[in-house]
Amino acid sequence: MNKLEKLQELYPEDLLGLSNKLTEGEVDVLYTLRQALEKEIQPVIAEYWDKAEFPVHVYDLYRNAKIMNDEKLFVGREGKETYSEVYNAFLFHELARTDTSIATAYTIHRMAHTVILQGGTEEQKAHYLPKLENFEYTGCFALTEPLNGSDIAKGLKTSARKENGKWILNGEKYWIGAANTADVIPVFARDEADGEIKCFILHHDTPGLEFEVIKHKMALRPVQNCKIMMNDATIDESQYLPKIKGFNDVTRVFQGSRVDVGHIATGTAAGSLTATLKYATERQQFGRPIAKFQLVQEKIARMETKVAANIALSVILSENQERGDFDTVNASLHKMHNAMNLREAVALGREICGGNGINVDYGVGKFFADAEAVYTYEGSHDINALILSRALTGMGAFV
């Protein structure tokens, strides 16, 4: 199969043809990943979602597909440390259309990679990044706390102090995805000496570190969100990331991760559309498939407009990122827009599927529930709205 044929098979929902901006090598990697996901994850993910367990074998698929480090991803990108942003958009699209939780787990992993890439020394990058890229290590990202989410910049309570060449951390983190299984855990803490927010790499077996899995979630059930408790958690100086010197540096990491979640919204909407189309073309009522009824076709068309618009914004923003023409306002616009469209798309899909739309076995119900989490995490709708409105009015309204 040539590139165009693969793209037509991968992304029939991309009616504007924007996936053609991917290179041939990028398409090859995504095609290999799709085959693995359809064989190993798609048939079992509903069971994992129902049991609230994570399919850890997905990391083996990522390693085998070389989604972070295949040489094909770097053709024409000599000297670049990461793959292209357009590939990144479709990678998250690919993961999320299969399952929002595995896409979320990957963005958590990628955030660990990004903070070390942006905040680490050459020695730290050489040690951690290759292992994260081939999934020898898995990573997460610990910023939010039990009492501080949207106001984390001013409210962060986790502390760090330096004693006898060691760093000692105390405090709690909350809603930290994959924390209980991650090998590498970048933790943000306030330095007692100067009051600045800094970043420290904790390992799973760091003394003084404990985890508690958050139970009874109604969305992203396979993702093991955790409470992290640090009681004199002690690490070496070599685990301090010296280029993270305050919250402005943290914001740089969040700009990218917020965009990633916008891409996840795109893929989740596409997955919902795919599941809805399968149901609507197979489900018979009044002697014919429900997809032949005008009311159903109108809803399907509306779902497609949401998906196509999300793909378009994801690709435009990715190209801006690649050029370096990108800021927090762009990230907030992208995440807010795509999450709103996602919410509307999955609601239409659930409606088309009727009562079966709330059953996880049909796929649509899972996307419907997971959309609520995507709508909130990595910048809630309201926080992103305030960022956008501040840019337009010149007036902040956070407090």
* DSSP string over 285-320: ETTEEGGGSHHHHHHHHHHHHHHHHHHHHHHHHHHH
Q: For residues 293 and 354, what is the distance between their CA atoms, to the nearest angstrom?
A: 14
302 and 330 co-located in one domain: yes
386 and 339 co-located in one domain: yes
Residue 399 has pLDDT above 80, yes or no: no
302 and 384 co-located in one domain: yes
Q: At which of 207, 241, 275 does a domain end? A: 241
Q: Is 56 exposed, middle or buried (0-12, 13-18, 19+ CB in 10 A)?
A: middle
* Mean pLDDT, residues 201-212: 96
Report the phi/psi class of residue 287: left, alpha or beta, with left for phi > 0 and alpha for psi in -120 to 50. Answer: left
Q: What is the tally of structural domains in the chain? A: 3
260 and 215 co-located in one domain: no
Q: For residues 18 and 36, what is the distance between their CA atoms, to the nearest angstrom?
A: 24
Compute the C-alpha angle 120/122/126, nearest 5°. 95
- The band of 149, judged by pLDDT with boundaries at 50, 70 and 90, is confident
Q: For residues 190 and 199, what is the distance between their CA atoms, to the nearest angstrom?
A: 9
Which of 25-29, 211-215, 290-294, 357-361 comes out lowest in average pLDDT? 357-361
130 and 204 co-located in one domain: no
- The band of 358, judged by pLDDT with boundaries at 50, 70 and 90, is very high
Domain containing 214: what range? 151-241
Q: Is 171 exposed, middle or buried (0-12, 13-18, 19+ CB in 10 A)?
A: buried
Q: Helix, strand, or coil here: 227?
A: strand
234 and 307 co-located in one domain: no
Going by the DSSP 8-state scheme, the letter that residue 190 receives in this structure is E
Tell me which amino acid residue 391 is: A
Assign residue 188 the CATH number of its domain: 2.40.110.10
Per-residue confidence (pLDDT) for residue 252, from 0 to 100: 81
Give the E-state strand segments of 178-277 in sequence order. Answer: 184-191, 197-203, 209-213, 225-236, 240-241
Domain assignment present for residue 198? The answer is: yes
Assign residue 119 the CATH number of its domain: 1.10.540.10
CA nearest neighbour of 54 among 225, 262, 185: 225
* Whole-number Cα distances in Å, 1 to 11, 39, 52, 67, 120: 15, 19, 38, 20, 41
* Mean pLDDT, residues 41-56: 96
State percent of the chain over pLDDT 90: 91
Residue 369 has pLDDT above 80, yes or no: yes
Q: At which of 134, 167, 198 does a domain end? A: 134
Domain assignment present for residue 92? The answer is: yes
Per-residue confidence (pLDDT) for residue 148, from 0 to 100: 79
Q: What is the pLDDT of residues 234-255, one digit of tens each?
A: 999 999 999 998 888 888 877 8
Per-residue confidence (pLDDT) for residue 280, from 0 to 100: 98
207 and 340 co-located in one domain: no
The residue assigned the tokens 């039990």 is: 146
234 and 330 co-located in one domain: no
Per-residue confidence (pLDDT) for residue 154, from 0 to 100: 79
